[in-house]
Structure 1
Amino acid sequence: MLSFNRNVKLFLAQVFIMGIYTGIYGIVFNLHILELGFKTDFLGLMLSVSLLAASIASVPAGFLCDRFDHKKILVGSTFLSALAVLPLFISSSPPVLLVASALGGMLGSISTVCATPFLTENCERDEAVHVFSASAALGWAASVVGAALGGLVPMIWPLLHLQANRYQLTLIASVVLLFAGCAMLLFLKGGKCTRRHTTKPFSITKVRPSPETLKFAAISVIIGLGSGMVVPYFNVYFTKIIRASIFETGVIFAVANIFMVAGFIFIPYLAEKIGRARSAVITQAASLPFLILMAITTNLMAASAAYIMRMMLMNMAGPATTSLQMEVIHPEERGFAVGLISTGNSLAVAASTYVSGLLMVGGNYVLPFTITCIAYLAAAGLLYYFFGHRERRQNPGSTTA
Structure 2
Amino acid sequence: METEFVKNYLGTVAGFNRNVRLLLLRTIMMGLYTGIHGLIFNFYILEMGYKADFLGLLISISLLASSTMSIPAGVLCDRFDRRKLLVISSVLAMLATLPVFLLRDPSVMLLFSAAGGMFGSISAVCLTPILSDNCKRDGTVHVFSANASLGWIASVIGCALGGLLPGLMIAHLPLGGSGYQLTLIASVALLGLSCLFALLLKKGNKCAGPAPKAKAKSRFRFSLKDLRPSPTVLKFTLTSVTFGVASGMIVPYFNVYFMKVLHMDVVQIGLTSAAAGAFMLVGFIITPYATSKIGKVRSAVVTKLISAPFVVAMAFTKDFMIAAGAYVVYMFLINMAGPATTSFQMEQIKKHEQGFAIGLMSTGSCLAVSASSFVSGLLISRGNYTVPFILTCAGYVATAVLLYHYFKDVEPLPLLRPVARVAAD
Take 1:313 and 1:394, find their aligned partners in 2: how far apart are those partners?
21
* Pairing of 1:99-118 with structure 2 (within 5 A): 99-118=111-130
Structure 2 partner of 1:300: 320
Distance 1:123 1:50 in 2: 32
Q: Are residue 384 (structure 1) and residue 404 (structure 2) matched?
A: yes
Query: What is the alpha-carbon distance in structure 2 between the residues aligned to residue 6 and residue 150 of structure 1?
Result: 30
Q: 7, 22, 26: which one pairs with 2:34? A: 22
8 Å contact from structure 1 (residues 275, 399) kept in 2: no
Listed as ranges, the matches of 1:264-283 within 5 Å are 264-283=284-303
User: Partner of 2:3 in structure 1?
Assistant: none
> What residue in structure 1 maps to residue 201 of structure 2?
188
CA distance in 2, matches of 1:232, 1:192: 40
Q: 1:95 aligns with which of 96, 104, 107?
A: 107
Question: Is 1:170–2:190 an aligned residue pair?
Answer: no
When residues 149 and 355 of structure 1 are mapped into structure 2, their CA distance, relative to the original with a 3 A threshold, is: same
- Give the match for residue 179 of structure 1: 192
1:255 aligns with 2:268: no
Where does residue 320 of structure 1 map in the other structure? 340
Q: Which residue of 1 aligns with 2:349?
A: 329
TM-score, normalised via structure 1 length: 0.97
TM-fit CA distance, 1:154: 1.6
Contact 2:67-2:121 at 8 Å conserved across structures: yes
Q: Which amino acid aligns with 2:36?
A: I
Q: Does 1:367 align with 2:392?
A: no
Is 1:229 aligned with 2:249?
Answer: yes
Superposition CA RMSD, Å? 1.6
Shift of 1:162: 5.4
Counterpart for residue 245 of structure 1: 265
Question: Is 1:59 the counterpart of 2:71 in the alignment?
Answer: yes
State the 1:394 CA deviation. Answer: 9.6
Please report how far the alpha carbon of residue 166 of structure 1 lies from its aligned counterpart in structure 2 after TM superposition.
Answer: 1.2
Between the aligned partners of 1:140 and 1:222, the Cα distance in structure 2 is: 24
In the superposition, relative to structure 1, how do residues 95 and 188 fare at CA in structure 2: closer, same or farther (>3 Å)? same
Q: What does 1:346-357 correspond to in 2, within 5 Å?
A: 346-357=366-377
How many Å apart are 1:349 and its aligned residue?
0.1
Relative to 1, partners in 2 of residues 1:155 and 1:79: Cα closer, same or farther, differing over 3 Å? same
Q: Kindly indicate whether the alpha-carbon contact (under 8 Å) linking 2:16 and 2:135 is maintained by their aligned counterparts in 1.
A: yes
Out of 6, 19, 25, the position equivalent to 1:13 is 25
Partner AA of 1:188 in structure 2: L
Whole-angstrom distance in 2 between the partners of 1:221 and 1:366: 21
Q: Give the deviation of 1:89 after TM superposition.
A: 0.8
Change (3 A) 1:339 1:313: same
**SS of structure 1 residue aligned to 2:14:** coil
Q: Is the 8 A contact 1:78 1:108 kept in 2?
A: yes
Within 2, Cα distance between the matches of 1:112 and 1:349? 18
Task: Answer with 175-184 or 202-211: which moved more.
Answer: 202-211
**2:320 aligned partner, one-letter code:** L
Contact 1:277 1:321 in 2 (8 A): yes
Q: SS state of the match for residue 391, structure 1?
A: coil
Answer whether contact 2:303 2:336 (CA < 8 A) is retained. Answer: yes
Q: Deviations over 1:223-245 (max 9, x none)?
A: 11111100010110111111111
Distance in 2 between the 1:371 and 1:123 partners?
Answer: 37
Change (3 A) 1:234 1:398: farther
Structure 1 residue aligned with 2:165: 153
Partner of 2:10: none
Unaligned 5+ residue runs, structure 2?
A: 1-12, 421-425
Size of the alignment, in residue pairs?
400
| C-alpha distance 229-398 of structure 1, shift in aligned 2 (>3 A) | farther
- 2:294–2:413 CA contact under 8 A, matched in 1: no
Name the counterpart of 1:290.
Answer: 310
For 2:205, give the aligned amino acid: K
Change beyond 3 A, Cα 1:268–1:89:
same
Q: How far did 1:258 drift?
A: 1.8
Aligned-partner SS, 1:392: coil
Q: Which residue number corresponds to residue 123 of structure 1?
A: 135
Q: Partners in 2 of 1:125 and 1:341 — Cα distance?
A: 22
Equivalent residue number for residue 423 of structure 2: none
- Between the aligned partners of 1:338 and 1:352, the Cα distance in structure 2 is 21
Does 2:100 align with 1:80?
no
Deviations 1:143-181 (A, max 9, x none): 000001111112223433654111101111112222112
Contact 1:20 1:142 in 2 (8 A): yes
1:264·1:319 contact (CA, 8 Å) conserved in 2?
A: yes
Confirm or deny that 1:397 pairs with 2:417: yes
